[in-house]
Amino acid sequence: MRIGVPKEIKPQENRIGLTPESVKTLVSEGHEVLVENNGGFEAGFENDQYTKAGAKIVNKASDIFNDSEIIVKVKEPQKVEVDMIRENQIVYTYLHLAAAKELTEGLIKSKSINIAYETVTDDNGRLPLLAPMSAVAGRMSVQAGAHCLEKNQKGRGVLLGGAPGGEPANVLILGGGVVGENAAIIATGMKAKVHVVDKSEARLKQLVEMFGDKIIPEQSNKIDLNKLVAEADLVVGGVLIPGAEAPKLVTKDMLKLMKRGSVIVDVAIDQGGCVETSKPTTHGNPTYIVDDVVHYCVANMPGGVPRTSTFALNKATLPYLVKLANKGYQKALGEDKNFLAGLNVHKGHVTYKAVADVFGQQYVDPGEAIKN
């Protein structure tokens, strides 16, 4: 198959869909790979590394979209890219459609085949292609939050880990999944006081086994969230409902309870955010203030560390891409129900129920869809 890798065009998105080593693997399997000129530059990959791996460098994104059977990206297609997607073309990337009505409608209209990294599952119900970027975002969330707490960033002027004679900051992590676990790794490492909220008692027990008394576990149905939010210096939103819009756990009214200069980092912003006052921001302009609370809502946080992120992402996504290219999408998805869970839009039909439900679209079972 011919596989195309366009340069990412979302603002401050510096990752790329394939590393040179991943290209080498695909070429060794008999596939042709097209990479847009300087597509990997910001992640530290030069054109000649791709050519040595067997790729062809292409000057224009339009040529990549015109000539490729599979498009491999990192972030959801932007409008100009959606307009270039062809009927029956396979798009393999993060989509986050539940928070993107216009994109969903554009992909339906294109009659393309769209596989979302974030809804591919494994036998334990985990999300193996989302996990690496969730880990990166979770770790970055505390770094970003600590920076935003500095006074010159309009924060409270609090050092996350405190100092002799000064108390550490209170960090409230909403969600004990991959984001929450990795946020806790950094927050506890910085010696903050860390509360982790999750609805699952079993998951909280796992986290206590990992962190011991470095965290304070909080089961969501047994707590006063208003009180925890009011006491927090930093709130990290890491709540996820796979493929669906994130629930709004922190309301606008709750912001009025928060300390002046406290910080919210809403990692769930890709899925609409778990804070009512959240709206997507960029690395170039990452924060805004509502009711004296600093909001950091960068929708592509791992794009700020593109080299680390691209390596981590490819380790997870490449084996699935090899199957897709070697077998064709119908066989690759048809023989693997977990990979099939990644199919969100197929030839004009929505094949992921949470996306169909949120936009009132007709849902088509993905197993039935790929038979056509």
83 flagged as catalytic: no
Instruction: Please identify which residue in the block is written with the tokens 């990979």.
Output: 339
- Number of neighbours of residue 290 by Cβ within 10 angstroms: 16
Nearest CA among 169, 226, 168 for reference residue 197: 226
Strands 113-116 and 343-346: antiparallel
Q: Residues 6 or more apart from 319 whose CB is under 8 A from it?
A: none
Determine which one of 31, 233, 270, 295 is catalytic. 270
Active site residue 291: no
Say if residues 13 and 300 touch (Cβ distance below 8 Å): yes
Integer CA distances (angstroms), 283 to 10, 235, 299, 310, in order: 11, 19, 9, 17
Q: Which residues contact 107 (CB under 8 A, 6 or more apart)?
A: 77, 82, 85, 91, 95, 97, 114, 344, 345
Q: Which of 96, 195, 295, 346 is catalytic?
A: 96
Distances in Å between the Cα of 79 and the Cα atoms of 11, 151, 290 are 13, 38, 29
Which residues form the catalytic set?
A: 96, 270
